[in-house]
Amino acid sequence: MLNKKELIDLIFNEDNAYLTDFQNHKVFNSILSDVLYLEEDLRQNNLELHILSAYRSFNSQQSIWNQKVLGQRDVLDERSKKIDIRNLTNEELFFKILNWSAFPTLSRHHFGTELDIADGIYLQENPRYQCQMIDSEYLTGPFKNLFQYTKSNLKNFYHPYQKDLGGIKPEPWHISNNISKEIISDFTYEIFLDFLNSDLLKDILLLDIAKKNSKLLYHQYFLPRLNV
């Protein structure tokens, strides 16, 4: 569906032609009809689609990543508790960050096919509520009904991170459009290696550790979710 040049455009250029605006976010053009269907479907079930995050460019992901490496943004453990990163080796820090943040270029949010969602009705009734995107909000808290519904009733979307596969932790707020499967299969390991060795990634912190673990990153943290 997308060749290497087109993938570079989609991932690295935020103003590329593949994206359409929705709720102040950007989504991949051809998923818009599925997003509108989802919005209506949720409305009929007394829920409201509120997008917390959709397309994210390489630059935004790189800035999240680098801030975590530098201790300017919290790094959380598997239970969403803040980690004291001062005693970690660079390699340990690298993998702790990967629990919740994809390595830049390997975030599915780069494709515009992914949505992090919350229930807009709750957010309107509780305007001061700050959504944290942690498990408890979706398993027992304010977005429980939303997660319960989306777990089994989605059309053309699915929850890629429902089970802990040893890579990224389960993310009940994250849904993925089926089209992502095609884009992921276009994005080969060879393309990822080209990225790692190109100037495009020269400003990423801990790049040497990514290069050393490129196979693991690609196969365990990116690909497995293709078939979930």
Contact residues toward Zn ion (CB under 5 A) are: 116, 174
Structure tokens at 136: 């408890």
Q: How far is the CB of 153 from Zn ion (least distance, A)?
A: 19
Would you say 96 or 174 has its CB closer to Zn ion?
Answer: 174
Q: How far is the CB of 64 from Zn ion (least distance, A)?
A: 12
Closest CA to 28 of 36, 40, 37, 19: 19
Would you say 116 or 137 has its CB closer to Zn ion?
Answer: 116
Contact 75/68 with Cβ under 8 angstroms? Answer: yes
Compute and round to an integer the Cα radius of gyration of the chain: 17
Q: Which residues, 6+ apart, have CB-to-CB distance to 29 below 8 Å?
A: 18, 19, 20, 112
Q: How far is the CB of 159 from Zn ion (least distance, A)?
A: 11
Would you say 55 or 192 has its CB closer to Zn ion?
Answer: 55
Q: How far is the CB of 82 from Zn ion (least distance, A)?
A: 20
**Amino acid at position 167, single letter:** G
Contact 46/119 with Cβ under 8 angstroms? Answer: no
Closest CA to 28 of 110, 112, 107: 112
